[in-house]
A and B are shown apart, each in its own frame.
Chain A
């Protein structure tokens, strides 16, 4: 696993590392010989810079809930064989809101 991703995973899953103060975090980072810019982004909690340095996708959309049901005209382009009316339209109960 990529060193930086491995480090982030450890920061996320290890109770001894999850909420380290910067001085302690630097002690963890120093032996790893990370790119100084990556190290700085981590200690400065600069997730935008870190994403740039890791060439991560920075145009993330994460909404997957519609406020309303799909209209009959909205059909997936990848499934041209499926015709409108082949199946019932989603109902209110299809849009799960339970938490």
Chain B
């Protein structure tokens, strides 16, 4: 039997005022309780004015403690209110389902317990990145990884496509307790990337605009310069293609044969 409590995870978008959808805003305004996680304190104040019971998830982050514990506590706090049969909204910056474990986990748990739960999309940092850097992921293809996960596991990198690494400011942190990692960790990231890219390959450090008074950060530098570059938890590493796409001639020949067959049967009598 479906229960009365419900959970909707919505995206607030990245830029205050610019990106929140009418539907996401309406969910926030009509909720019994809103749990909020956004990327700056002013946006936190802005959303807090939309509902009388907005609870920041920031206090769950504790210095020196694994963020995984914080994430599990956030999910537990959200679910506790759903179980009280309240209309609960989780409002997360950007898109609530992109590089965001907490909303997915909270929705899955709520559904498993018989509550109505779903996600409403938002404008993500990736969307801003595409607009600000004027790149099209369709032009050469695009791979995305969380930076530390990219370092922990062996992956197949296509150097003819864009490579985008998120949370690069905490590259290589296995403890999940650091707010940033230093040059030693970055050097190891460069070591992994140097298997695929020359050290002088030009890369981009990007930060989207969270307040409409800011400018996006677009810093172009050589791969080797990452070791000493200024980084923030919001910084994203964008690596443009380094090699041309190589034609799959075998497949092109097979497709040409198919096309010839089609042309033969479509030829007028």
Contact = CB atoms under 8 A, between A and B. Distances in A.
Nearest to B96: A64
Interface string A79-99: 100000000001000111111
A8 B212 contact: yes
A35 interface: no
B260 interface: no
Contacts of B40: 47, 51, 56, 60
Given A45-B214, A99-B126, A50 B42 contact: yes
Given A13-B18, A76-B73, A64 B212 contact: no
A63 interface: yes
B42 A95 contact: no
A61 to B, nearest CB: 4
A99 B212 contact: no
B66 interface: yes
A97 B125 CA distance: 14
Contact of B76 (A1, A47, A63, A76): A76
A75 B71 CA distance: 10
B189 to A, nearest CB: 12
Contacts of B97: 96, 98
Contacts of B19: 12
B69 A97 contact: no
A98 B166 CA distance: 12
B-side interface size class: 35 or more
A38 to B, nearest CB: 11
A75 B72 contact: yes
A-side interface size class: 35 or more
B37 A8 contact: no
Contact of A61 (B61, B69, B76): B61
A62 B74 CA distance: 13
B101 A64 contact: yes
Contacts of A70: 68, 71-72
A33 interface: no
A55 B216 CA distance: 23
B233 interface: yes
Contact of B42 (A51, A67, A90): A51
A94 B99 contact: no
Contacts of A64: 37, 71, 74, 92, 99-103
A29 B33 CA distance: 34
Given A8-B16, A78-B77, 9 more contacts: A42-B213, A50-B213, A60-B44, A62-B37, A65-B99, A76-B72, A97-B149, A98-B97, A99-B98
Interface of B: 15-19, 37-42, 44-46, 49, 56, 58, 61, 66-69, 71-77, 80, 92-93, 97-105, 108, 124, 126, 144-149, 152, 166-167, 170, 173-174, 176, 179, 210-215, 233-234
